[in-house]
Chain A
Amino acid sequence: MEFFNELTQTILNGVAIGCIYGMVALGFVLIYKSTEVINFAQGELLMLGAFISYSLITQLHLSYWTALVVTILAMGIVGAILERVVLRSLVGEPTYAIVIVTIGISYFIRSIVSMIPGWGTDTYGFRTPFTDKFLRWGDVVISYEYLSIVVLALVLIAAVFVFFGYSRMGTAMRATSQNQLAAVYMGISVTRVFSLTWTIAAALGGIGGILLAPITFVHMNMGFIGLKAVPAAVLGGFTSPPGAIVGGLIIGITESLAGVYLEEGWKDIAAWIILIAVLIIRPQGLFGIQEKKKV
């Protein structure tokens, strides 16, 4: 029973972290699909979201829920500004140059955060409505904190999928990622699509931040989680939004299991071992479509 309890707990923790990996990975995928750029600042956007929510809750004394909504909006605006000021002026430049610029953006965000009074390089935490509450189910004890992450993440991810699947703008964004030229002929403004893509990706990062904060605390190096989300995205095929979420979950769960049942050190490489194994069997990733050229 003891073992079963621990296993459930470990898997749930893995799912919670996996949801966050998935969200960050979804940000990667959305930007990559529409602009073919890999945004290496995705992790730093998460970190910035965590700091903003920390300030809103502890300094402005907003409720957790208000802070969640305000963080999402604020990060959306950050994404839109980044696109407008930096990325739009780089349209037409080679992709590798733009990718390098996103690395620059990530350092820029780190520096800004370290310079803001009350943020800096220290570690912070904040209480959520779920802190120190547990659900008991027989012998299994589940923390509300982890449960809340899973539920919130899934709800927000579902909202993103509904938006892309059914709304007019979401459909236009999918269309643009498939055929930009045709999209323009339909009267779709590609500039607007790019701007919305960055808005949504940054908002997803921000949500990841506020959800992750209670587990890892708020600090400047939170952004390194972005490096774990890359294998999640690749695992899913890099162009598949559902693949990003599944990839995130697989990596989250593996990592969590490796952390509990294997020697120290395995935890950090577990993600990469899984990635290599999957890519050997399915080079296009789990949900990727292999582009076959018709000859």
Chain B
Amino acid sequence: MAFFQAQEISISFGGLKALDRVSFTVNKGEIFSIIGPNGAGKTTIFNCINRFYDLDEGVFLLDGKSLSSAKTHQIADMGIARTFQNIELFKNMTVLDNLILGRHRKRRSNILTEMFFFKPVQRQEINSREKAEEIIDFLDLEAHRDQLVVNLPYGVQKTVELGRALAMEPTLLLLDEPTSGLNMEESEDLAFWLDDMKEELGITVLMVEHNMRFVKQTTDRVLAIDFGQTIIEGETNEVLNHPDVMRAYLGEENVCNA
């Protein structure tokens, strides 16, 4: 059941082939990780999905529909949400406002209907706030609800960003290094939430991750890439124990010594 597919995607920057005919398939409801050394092209894949770069060749298919003709802001409308390695929040707004902004694509209104605060606009507003409160509950953000994001610790900001993505009610959630900068306890919480998201919300997750322990703990299937090329795609254990993957991560000699 292919839910999201990359078919033979390639992109170059100048002379550098950042991605070279990479293909992978994410099934509905699974947690899929992309791993690889720094500079392997992992985040580039995300940026291509989000249409910040145009692919030179190949195509992404979401539920069979190509993303190639969408504008950047329309990707959210297609049900794809994302978090960032370096956190991209609205820093001078409260946690609640950030979550409500996640609802933007779910609401339809124009200046006139808002000016008179028509029934549908009221309903959307109430609905948005309810959804935001649900997420605050789910991610344990109650204590920070009305605080400005800029004043929050890093780990909490990461959680808010996850919450904002969830507020979009995505069908596909892209997480770019979700555990980077988190301590052990926070990573455990995240693993727990991911499990809930998968089981209860049925969200398909595609993530880029360096923390192998975390990948092992949470992920169903893995794609390993290096230098823009696929090493292997498969079940988590199979990929993590593959000699080529170990070589890419640890270097030739270390594998021989191990």
Enumerate chain A interface residues (CB-CB to B < 8 A).
163, 167-169, 171-172, 174-175, 178-179, 181-190, 289
> Would you list which residues of chain B between 212 and 235 have a CB under 8 Å from chain A?
none
B211 CB–A CB distance under 8 Å? no
Whether A182 contacts B104 in the complex (CB less than 8 A), given A168-B114, A187-B76, comes out as no
Q: Is the CB of A181 within 8 A of B88?
A: yes
Q: Given that A175-B101, A181-B88, A185-B82 are known contacts, is A168 also in contact with B93, CB under 8 Å in the complex?
A: no
- The answer to the question of B40 belonging to the interface, with a C-beta cut-off of 8 Å to chain A, is no
The residues in B between 98 and 115 inclusive whose CB is less than 8 angstroms from any CB of A are 100-102, 104-105, 107, 109-111, 114
A169-B109, A171-B100, A171-B101 known; A179+B73 contact, CB < 8 A: no
Given contacts A168-B114, A184-B72, A187-B77, contact A175 B93 (CB under 8 A): yes
Let me know if A179 and B76 touch, CB within 8 A.
Answer: no
A186 and B104 contact, CB distance less than 8 A: yes
Can you name 4 extra interface pairs (CB under 8 A) apart from A183-B101, A186-B168? A163-B114, A168-B104, A182-B89, A187-B168
| Bound CA–CA A183/B168 (angstroms) | 12
Query: How far is B99's CA from A171's CA once the two chains are assembled, in angstroms?
Result: 12
| Assembly CA distance A186 to B82 (angstroms) | 9
| A114 CB → nearest B CB, Å | 33
In the complex, how many angstroms separate the beta carbon of B113 from the nearest chain A beta carbon? 10
Q: A187-B76, A189-B73 are in contact. Are A175 and B107 (CB under 8 A)?
A: no
Cross-chain pairs A/B with CB under 8 angstroms, 12 sampled? A167-B114, A168-B109, A168-B121, A171-B100, A172-B104, A179-B88, A185-B50, A185-B75, A188-B73, A188-B104, A190-B73, A289-B92
What are the residues of chain A within 8 A of B121 when measuring CB–CB? 168
Say whether B114 contacts A187, CB under 8 Å: no
B: number of interface residues (CB 8 Å): 31
* Residue with the highest number of chain B CB atoms closer than 10 Å, among A167, A174, A187, A190: A187
Q: Which residues of chain A are within 8 angstroms of B109 by Cβ–Cβ distance?
A: 167-169
**In the docked arrangement, what's the CA distance between A179 and B97, Å?**
14
Give the chain B neighbours of A174 by CB distance below 8 A.
90, 93
User: Cα distance A168–B90 when bound, in Å?
Assistant: 15
Q: Which of A178, A183, A185 has the most CB of B within 10 A?
A: A185
Bound Cα distance A284, B217 (Å): 49
- Bound-state Cα–Cα, A163 to B114, Å: 9
> A184-B72, A187-B77, A187-B105 in contact; A179/B89 too (CB < 8 A)?
yes
Beta-carbon contact of B90 and A182 below 8 Å: yes
How long is the Cα–Cα vector from A168 to B114 in the complex, in angstroms? 8
Q: Are B76 and A185 in contact (CB under 8 A)?
A: yes
A292 to B125, CA, bound (A): 35
Q: How far is the CB of A80 from the nearest CB of chain B, in Å?
A: 12
Alpha-carbon distance A184/B75, docked complex (angstroms)? 9
Q: How distant is the Cα of A182 from the Cα of B161 in the complex, in angstroms?
A: 10
Known contacts A184-B73, A187-B73, A190-B73; is A178 also within 8 Å of B90 by CB? yes
From B92, B105, B114, contact of A186 by CB (8 A): B105
Cα of A31 to Cα of B57 in the assembled complex, Å: 39
Greatest chain A CB density within 10 A among B71, B100, B101, B105 is at B101
Shortest distance in angstroms between A179's beta carbon and chain B's nearest beta carbon?
6
Give which listed residue, B71, B92, B102, B104, contacts A178 with CB less than 8 A: B92
Contact B92 A171 (CB under 8 A): no
**Does B242 touch A at the CB level, under 8 Å?**
no
Nearest 9 CB-CB pairs, A to B?
A187-B76, A187-B105, A182-B88, A167-B114, A178-B90, A189-B73, A186-B104, A175-B90, A184-B73
Contacts of A187 in B (CB 8 A): 73-77, 104-105, 168
Which B73-95 residues sit within 8 Å CB-CB of chain A?
73-77, 81-82, 88-93
On whether A186 and B50 interact (CB within 8 A), knowing A168-B107, A175-B90, the answer reads no
B157–chain A nearest beta-carbon distance, Å: 12
Q: Is the CB of B88 within 8 A of A186?
A: no
Query: Closest residue of chain A to B51, judged by CB?
Result: A184
Q: Are A186 and B76 closer than 8 Å at their CB atoms?
A: yes
> How far is A186 from B72 in the complex, measured between Cα atoms in Å?
10
Q: Could you tell me if A186 and B111 are in contact, using CB atoms closer than 8 angstroms?
A: no
Q: Determine which of B81, B100, B110, B124 lies in contact with A185 in the assembled complex, contact meaning CB atoms within 8 Å.
A: B81
Instruction: Give Cα A289 to B89, complex, Å.
Output: 18
Chain A residue at minimal CB-CB distance from B174: A185
Q: A residues within 8 A CB of B92? A: 178, 289
Determine the chain A residues whose CB is within 8 A of the CB of B102 once the complex forms: 186
Assembly CA distance A181 to B93 (angstroms): 16
Residues in A whose Cβ lies below 8 Å from that of B91 = 178-179
Chain A proximity of B58: nearest CB distance (Å): 22
* Cβ–Cβ contact B111 & A169, under 8 A: yes
- Docked Cα-Cα span, A126 to B71, in Å, equals 49
Q: Which A residues are in CB contact (< 8 Å) with B81?
A: 185
Of the residues A172, A181, A289, contact of B101 by C-beta under 8 Å: A172
Chain A residue with the shortest CB-CB distance to B77:
A187
Q: How far is the CA of A179 from the CA of B82 in the complex (A)?
A: 15
Complex CA–CA separation, A189 to B110 (angstroms): 14
